[in-house]
Amino acid sequence: MTRSLSLLPGTLELIVMQTLASGTALHGFEILDAIRRATDDELVIEEGALYPALHRMERRGWTSSDWAVSEKGRRARYYGLTAKGRRALDKASDEWRRYVAAVEKVAAQGGAS
Partner 1 sequence: MKDIERAVDEEIRHHIAEAADRLVAQGMTPEAARREAERRFGDREAHRAAMMNETRRLDRRARLSAIPGRIASDLRLAARGLMRAPTFAFTLIATLGLGMGAAAAVVTVLDALLLRPLPYLDADRIVGVNRVIGPERMTVPSLAPDQIRRWRELARGLGPLAVYDVAGVTRTNGPVPEMLDAVHVSSGLDEVLGMRAWLGRTFEEGDAVPGVNRAMLGFDYWKGLGLGASAIGSTLRLDGADYEVVGVLPRDFKFPVAGSPPAVWLAIHSDFTSAAGPVGGLAVVARLRDGITLEGAQARMDATSEALARESPDERGWKVSLEPIGKWRGNPEVVRGVWFMAAGVLVMLLVALTNCINLLLFRAVDRARELALRLALGGSRLRLVMQLLAEGVVVGLASGLAAVVIAQALVAGIGQLVPDEFVFSSVYAFRIEHRVLLFTFVLAVACGIVLGLVPGVRVVRSSTVGFDLLKDRGATGRDGALNLLLAGAEIALAVALLVGGGLLANSLLRLTRVDPGFDTDHVAILSLGLPESRYDTPEARAAFFDRVRDGIAALPNVRAVSVSDGVPPWTGFRFGGALQAEGAEPIPPTGDIQLLPVIGATPNFIRTLGARLVRGRDLLPADVGGANVLIDDALARRLWQGDPIGMRFRTDDDAPWQTVVGVFAHMASHGLDDRTTPYTIVRPRNPARAGAYMSLAIRTAGDPHAVMGDARRVVKRLDPELAIWRFSAATEALAGTIDKPRFLAAVMVAMSVVALVLAAVGIYGVLACAVTRRRREIGIRIALGAAPAAVRRSVIARGLAVAVAGIIVGLAAGQALTRLVRSLLFGVQPADPATLAIVAIVVAAVAALASFIPARRATRLDPVEVLRAE
The residues of the shown chain that bind partner 1, judged by CB under 8 A, are: 27-29, 46-49, 51-52, 55-56, 58-59, 67, 72, 74-77
> Which residue, 3 or 59, has its beta carbon nearer to partner 1?
59
- Tell the smallest beta-carbon distance from residue 64 to partner 1 (Å): 11
- How far, in Å, CA of 101 to CA of 105, rounded? 6
> Which residue, 9 or 67, has its beta carbon nearer to partner 1?
67
- Tell the smallest beta-carbon distance from residue 65 to partner 1 (Å): 9
> Which residue, 56 or 84, has its beta carbon nearer to partner 1?
56
> Which residue, 11 or 58, has its beta carbon nearer to partner 1?
58
Cα angle vertex 74, ends 78, 17, to 5°? Answer: 20
- Tell the smallest beta-carbon distance from residue 88 to partner 1 (Å): 16
- Tell the smallest beta-carbon distance from residue 70 to partner 1 (Å): 8
